[in-house]
């Protein structure tokens, strides 16, 4: 596609809510549509660009400030940025929105109960035992988005369903071209999901 419009898809939510999983799921799908995609993930960025920072309020703000700067540069160069950071403070997310412009906030919600049960990284157990200070949702605040463009609930939806919601939003707003059918019309997200499932079952994906 020659006329890609840059956008930052900003995944926010508690640890384990699905920010990384959804972004990783979408990355190859978007590339297959011919888009330039860059994925910025909190865990990775904290090992490089912001490895000097910890989890105090001040450091969390700096972390978001720096990644906002990077996302802004990419977005204005017509890249689709998938950005997964807990980003617990509303004012920092709103600042990012103002700076970046084309901005899609995806609130990855999940009940605390499901998160504790899932405990992907084993961090909730430690946080509840008091072994991790400043753990978002347990011993540190998380300010929910008031008007996110997309809200997913990973305690009730499958990964595929949540990702399809994000993709549908991006298609509806012209950030992602719909897939053309042979007759010139386009597939809906549901149709596309079905096709992918069938191809997967046949061993093609
Ligand atoms: N609907 C869903 N959307 C996203 N992930 C889901 C969903 N349902 C179940 N999961 C599972 O939940 C887990 C989410 O973990 P993930 O690493 O993506 O969280 P995260 O938000 O990136 O956390 P962190 O802030 O610690 O990096 C994965 O194991 C994923 O497979
Ligand atoms: Mg993650």
The CATH number given to whatever domain includes residue 114 is 3.40.50.300
The dihedrals phi and psi of 102, each to the nearest 5 degrees, come to -75, 105
Q: Which atom of ligand 1 is nearest to the CA of 23?
A: 18
- Asked whether residue 55 is assigned to any structural domain, the reply reads yes
Distance 154 CA to ligand 1 centre (A): 7
Phi-psi region of 137 (alpha: psi -120 to 50; beta: other; left: phi over 0): left
Is 82 close to ligand 1, i.e. is its CB under 6 Å away? no
| Mean pLDDT, the chain, whole residue set | 94
What is the rounded distance in angstroms from the CA atom of residue 107 to the CA atom of residue 109? 6
Q: Enumerate residues 6+ apart whose C-beta is below 8 A from 101.
A: 72, 75, 76
- Asked whether residue 194 is assigned to any structural domain, the reply reads no
Q: What is the pLDDT of residue 135?
A: 97
Q: What is the pLDDT of residue 198?
A: 87
**H/E element holding 150?**
strand 150-153
Q: What is the pLDDT of residue 46?
A: 97
- In this structure, what token pair is assigned to residue 137? 């949702």
- Asked whether residue 196 is assigned to any structural domain, the reply reads no
What is the rounded distance in angstroms from the CA atom of residue 72 to the CA atom of residue 78? 10
Q: What is the pLDDT of residue 183?
A: 78
- Asked whether residue 73 is assigned to any structural domain, the reply reads yes
- Asked whether residue 120 is assigned to any structural domain, the reply reads yes
Q: What is the pLDDT of residue 2?
A: 55
Q: What is the pLDDT of residue 187?
A: 77
Range of the structural domain that residue 59 is part of: 7-179
Give how many domains the chain has, as a whole number: 1
Query: What's this model's pTM, rounded to 2 decimal places?
Result: 0.90
Low-confidence ranges of the chain (pLDDT < 50): 1
- Asked whether residue 138 is assigned to any structural domain, the reply reads yes
Q: What is the pLDDT of residue 133?
A: 93
Q: What is the pLDDT of residue 196?
A: 85
- Asked whether residue 192 is assigned to any structural domain, the reply reads no
Is 43 close to ligand 1, i.e. is its CB under 6 Å away? yes
Q: What is the pLDDT of residue 178?
A: 81
Other CB atoms within a 10 A radius of the CB of residue 11 amount to: 29
Q: What is the DSSP string of 21-65?
A: HHHHHHHHHHHHTT--EEEEEHHHHTTTTTTT--SSHHHHHHHHH
Q: What residue owns the CA closest to ligand 1's atom 24? A: 15
Q: What is the pLDDT of residue 179?
A: 79
Is 84 close to ligand 1, i.e. is its CB under 6 Å away? yes
Q: What is the pLDDT of residue 9?
A: 99
Q: Which atom of ligand 1 is nearest to the CA of 153?
A: 1
- Asked whether residue 186 is assigned to any structural domain, the reply reads no
Burial of 149 (0-12, 13-18, 19+ CB in 10 A): middle
């Amino acid at each position: 596609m020659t006329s890609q419009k840059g956008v930052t898809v900003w995944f926010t939510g508690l640890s384990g809510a699905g920010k990384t999983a959804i972004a990783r799921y979408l990355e190859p799908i978007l590339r297959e549509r011919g888009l330039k995609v860059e994925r910025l993930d909190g865990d990775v960025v904290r090992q490089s660009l912001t490895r000097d920072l910890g989890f105090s309020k001040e450091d969390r703000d700096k972390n978001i400030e720096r990644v906002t700067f990077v996302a802004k540069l990419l977005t204005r160069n017509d890249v689709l940025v998938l950005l997964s950071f807990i980003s617990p403070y509303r004012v920092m997310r709103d600042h990012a929105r103002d700076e970046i412009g084309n901005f899609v906030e995806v609130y990855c919600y999940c009940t605390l109960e499901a998160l504790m049960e899932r405990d992907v990284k084993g961090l909730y157990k430690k946080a509840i035992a008091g072994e991790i200070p400043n753990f978002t949702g347990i011993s540190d605040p998380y300010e929910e988005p008031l008007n996110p463009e997309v809200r997913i609930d990973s305690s009730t939806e499958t990964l595929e369903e949540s990702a399809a919601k994000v993709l549908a939003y991006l298609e509806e707003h012209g950030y992602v071209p719909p897939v053309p059918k042979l007759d010139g019309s386009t597939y809906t997200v549901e149709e596309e999901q079905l096709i992918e499932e069938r191809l997967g079952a046949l061993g093609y994906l």
